[in-house]
Structure 1
Amino acid sequence: MFKILFIEDDMALFNEVQERLTQWSYEVHGIENFGAVMEQFSAVKPDLVIIDIQLPKFDGFHWCRMIRSCSNVPILFLSSRDHPTDMVMSMQLGADDFVQKPFHFDVLIAKIQAILRRVYNYSTEQTEIRTWQGAAIEYGKNMISSSSGTAELTKNEMLILKLLMERKNTIVSREKLIESLWDNEHFVSDNTLTVNLNRLRKKLEPLGLDAFIETKVGQGYMAVEEV
């Protein structure tokens, strides 16, 4: 049974979502003290975190930063705020997806299932190590290491890198990447992929690898392997 921590102060909404997700065999935990979210996060050890943006004490962006500082657990934002900058900010902070309120429950459950399937099936199946430009990529650990250091990637960042690595020196279309990362691309903003690519490049920069992921305008992206 997957454990979900739902950081939400609207108790009517929390109770409704908890009841619906319990019917899908998820174990849903809430927050009792919004000044001690990280303590409750550590106690629950969730497989997925759902966060609202507008919360008591600190907003959801704050807690996303705090969680990302110590964990790569998948994070889904669920918020009534609909400005594009809120969605971009959530992705830049390391969230995996964003659902806007009011929402249809079928959309929420589809997002949750897609994230959990992508993260946990992928991480258990992929244990091999691949090399790229002198760096070692450990798929199962979401790590990439070179003589310049080591970077820990989120599940989405590693999946993007894996997809590009499978077709080195070949262009992978944006549509293919979106389809592979998010099962139903109808609900995904094209900008979400851009944000994830930019985060990946930023982490690769200290390793001297960022320039080896090339943007092919109007076509997609390519991982370059020098022969």
Structure 2
Amino acid sequence: MANTRVLVVEDEEALATLLEYNLKKENFDATVASDGEEALIKIDESQPDIVILDWMLPNLSGIEVCRQIRARPETKNLPVIMLTARSEEADRIRGLEIGADDYITKPFSTNELIARVRAVLRRIRPGLVQDEVTHGDIKVDRTAHRVWRDGKEIHLGPTEFRLLDHLIQHPGRVFSREQLLNAVWGSDVFVEVRTVDVHIGRLRKALNKYNQGDPIRTVRSAGYALDAQS
């Protein structure tokens, strides 16, 4: 992600510093603006490749900043991820209708945010993104369909690869068996729900081949998650 420019617009200094540090650790070129007006000035001076934009900002709200970004011809396609403490569905819908490309509710893990940044860039500006996803000691090369854990290559079948690819892009999030069926097999294919358990078992066995521990968490009556690591 070297030279991929990320502008973090966040007035909470501790969070802004944390995000800047973790983005730079993942080789993004990250800068910070502490309010909406400063954000628009920085965008005018040197347009970033993606903006991480807090909803609640002094002087100019994140919603208004996003509206102005979308109104300007030179920035109308600039990817925007909104950060907010607002979890109500109506607020999420409003943020997306204003033009945000994704929406993350606080609190969140930095790994989840970085996975979302990569996913948005992959969708909107694929030329900027090496198609690799890293979570803890697990690395997935989505182009070559190869997986490593702690530097050792792990061989997965195609279904197990798709399962891991889906989970690693949403670390910490719990998916039901039905959600995994739709994401991995597709909603138009009839597969028994228990089939998910079989393939999760195979994925677990492969990822723990060298006894590094099981990174997949079973949530009773809910589903499965790839454990979040901040």
Shorter-normalised TM-score: what interval?
0.5 to 0.7
Q: CA deviation at 1:35?
A: 3.1
Task: Tell me the TM-score normalized by structure 2.
Answer: 0.52
- C-alpha distance in 2, partners of 1:91/1:116? 16
**Runs (5+) with no aligned partner, structure 2:** 130-164, 174-186, 189-230
- C-alpha distance in 1, partners of 2:123/2:34? 30
Indicate if the aligned counterparts of 2:23 and 2:30 stay in contact, CA closer than 8 A: yes
Q: CA deviation at 1:44?
A: 2.6
Aligned twin of 1:114: 119
1:94 alignment partner AA: G
Aligned twin of 1:86: 91
Indicate if the aligned counterparts of 2:10 and 2:35 stay in contact, CA closer than 8 A: no
Larger-gyration structure (1/2): 2
Indicate if the aligned counterparts of 1:29 and 1:44 stay in contact, CA closer than 8 A: no
Aligned twin of 1:21: 23
Aligned twin of 2:109: 104
Q: Alpha carbons of 1:57 and 1:111: their partners in 2 closer, same or farther (altered >3 Å)?
A: same
**Runs (5+) with no aligned partner, structure 1:** 125-178, 188-217, 220-227
Q: CA deviation at 1:37?
A: 2.9
Q: Alpha carbons of 1:123 and 1:50: their partners in 2 closer, same or farther (altered >3 Å)?
A: closer
RMSD of aligned residue pairs (Cα, Å):
3.1
> Quick one: percent identity of the two aligned structures?
28
Matches within 5 A, 1:36-55: 36-55=38-57
> C-alpha deviations, 1:173-193, integer Å up to 9, x for none?
xxxxxx99xx65x96xxxxxx
1:74 aligned to 2:79?
yes
Deviates more, 1:115-124 or 1:53-62: 115-124
Q: Alpha carbons of 1:44 and 1:32: their partners in 2 closer, same or farther (altered >3 Å)?
A: farther
SS in 1 for 2:33: coil
1:69 alignment partner AA: A
Indicate if the aligned counterparts of 1:5 and 1:49 stay in contact, CA closer than 8 A: yes
Q: CA deviation at 1:34?
A: 4.0
Q: Which has the higher helix share?
A: 1
